[in-house]
Structure 1
């Protein structure tokens, strides 16, 4: 059984609704989706999922606890307590989740194309990705560590690194024995020093690469004439019928990386804050209830303006997320 997995809570509610609606629009409302809980802030999210028969909320607390324990041992936080472990690693529950094959998508993404090509590649590989993170290894590994090239050949560092916001893989690629072996390498073997010091993305990359699982990256292997970007930081995408194209090629997904959830919340509550591809986000967010789409009555503010810190503080106060 194939499906889509994601991760969420009430903080990313608006983003997650937009993602689910984009899946409805591109793949159909019967597409199986499993949402993994980031934390216990799930009231709005649970209500939303109850209205969608194709979407389930993962609630196997034993498996969640196992991956919490794994992350506590795998993260650099295990040796340096200044780094906090967040709930992002709970996406790892999909390795023992409901789908034999799945595509994981962050809540701050929108699906733009059918996933046939991605799933077909899973017939040949156990991990398929589509991004340009390999160009920035310093965001995944500690490139200053002399141990890094002892653990991974430079060729793999240059080609296998991927963004944890979108990847396709299979249930069972990481069982308890393999996880214990990985933890042993990280802890007793001292390999934790090769990880970028925070977040689940470095750990996920390490899990695949250290296990010798080949990673097929469409962005790396596709001809340049057909490979597309995926990030909102790319301003040249063209929109047609609520789908984005990169130099004529249809995007697989769009990642609103760098756009804080509180900005998305504020916009959905009527704050006129501009960010890249905002209208596209609002289209999918209100796909099934266009009458609720906000009408802006105040002057617009760029989310990335010089006043962004004070802007975010004001947003957080308005949303009762900060004192």
Structure 2
């Protein structure tokens, strides 16, 4: 495949239950990425309100029911019920040669085009990794005694709300075949974080090159990398739809993982509420294409 002509695009995962977050995400994404192709992966069958936005925000819908069912089957192995977050695995079988996946509890405050450039050196790029304080959101302490992963594989422990990769690297047949190995680690997985442990397991045992934007910026001498900001982190400065890092590091998206209950009603307790409302507020035009 000629990489110059490779198709590039972004996937997001949603249903009607996250309608408010989805509108904020879509408005922010299209504000800063007006032409980049976008595709919805349905979290479940209840997504008609989200789908109704596809003309306004110019996105397609992933509709291969058999692949989505395969993701559901994997989630049942780990949780005992269908959990739609595992459906992000279909990104490796989707319509884009090079792709980005972004969770909808996010506002995008800059172009994401820079992220594709890192696929020249790596096969999978997450947002943050190799931080001991977030390792516990992937693996329990008991993972070390299993001897099933190396210390560097455990240390990677990346957030899976944002990642960049290429079609075909982790096809569904491969993901399904890795379930038995993943289940050996089930008791050491932090399954409250849904698909995050299994996806980390897939990546670190894949044989492909993986890293994160944080490591690119701090350890791999890639100054063009930009960073994600977790809304639970204080000290960011918000101004006109942007968030500025105290150190001056460039921020391209802000995510609210762990704050899903703060998006309704008055949105009391939502950190950086003014940033989110900059994109969601009624006075901000929905037609920004």
* Coarse TM-score class (shorter-chain normalised): 0.7 to 0.9
| 1:230-249 correspondence runs (5 A) | 230-247=229-246, 248-249=248-249
Number of equivalent positions: 273
| TM-score, normalised with respect to structure 2 | 0.85
Residue of structure 1 equivalent to 2:53: 48
Deviation at 1:91, TM superposition (A): 1.0
Cα pair 1:232 1:254 within 8 Å, conserved: yes
Alignment of 1:181 with 2:177, yes or no, is yes
State the secondary structure of the residue aligned to 2:107. strand
Which sections of structure 2, spanning at least 5 residues, go unmatched?
A: 1-6
Residue of structure 2 equivalent to 1:142: 140
Cα pair 2:93 2:167 within 8 Å, conserved: yes
Residue of structure 2 equivalent to 1:218: 213
Whose radius of gyration is greater, 1 or 2? 1
Residue of structure 1 equivalent to 2:126: 129
Output one character per residue of 1:190-213: Cα deviation in whole Å (capped at 9) or x when no partner.
343342234111111011112222
Deviation at 1:10, TM superposition (A): 0.9
Aligned mates of 1:88, 1:257 — CA distance in 2? 13
Aligned mates of 1:24, 1:197 — CA distance in 2? 32
State the secondary structure of the residue aligned to 2:190. coil
Residue of structure 1 equivalent to 2:114: 117
Alignment of 1:60 with 2:64, yes or no, is yes
Deviation at 1:22, TM superposition (A): 1.1
Of 85, 88, 93, the residue aligned with 1:96 is 93
Distance 1:133 1:282, change over 3 A: farther
Alignment of 1:16 with 2:22, yes or no, is yes
Cα pair 2:19 2:50 within 8 Å, conserved: yes
Aligned mates of 1:193, 1:214 — CA distance in 2? 27
Residue of structure 2 equivalent to 1:299: none
Residue of structure 1 equivalent to 2:153: 156
Deviation at 1:178, TM superposition (A): 2.2
Residue of structure 2 equivalent to 1:273: 268
Deviation at 1:174, TM superposition (A): 1.4
Distance 1:238 1:130, change over 3 A: same
Residue of structure 2 equivalent to 1:71: 75
Deviation at 1:221, TM superposition (A): 3.5
Of 193, 196, 219, the residue aligned with 2:190 is 196
State the secondary structure of the residue aligned to 2:243. strand
Aligned mates of 2:22, 2:274 — CA distance in 1? 16
Deviation at 1:115, TM superposition (A): 2.1
Aligned mates of 1:274, 1:69 — CA distance in 2? 36
RMSD of aligned alpha carbons: 2.4
| TM-score, normalised with respect to structure 1 | 0.77
Aligned mates of 1:88, 1:195 — CA distance in 2? 16
State the secondary structure of the residue aligned to 2:136. helix
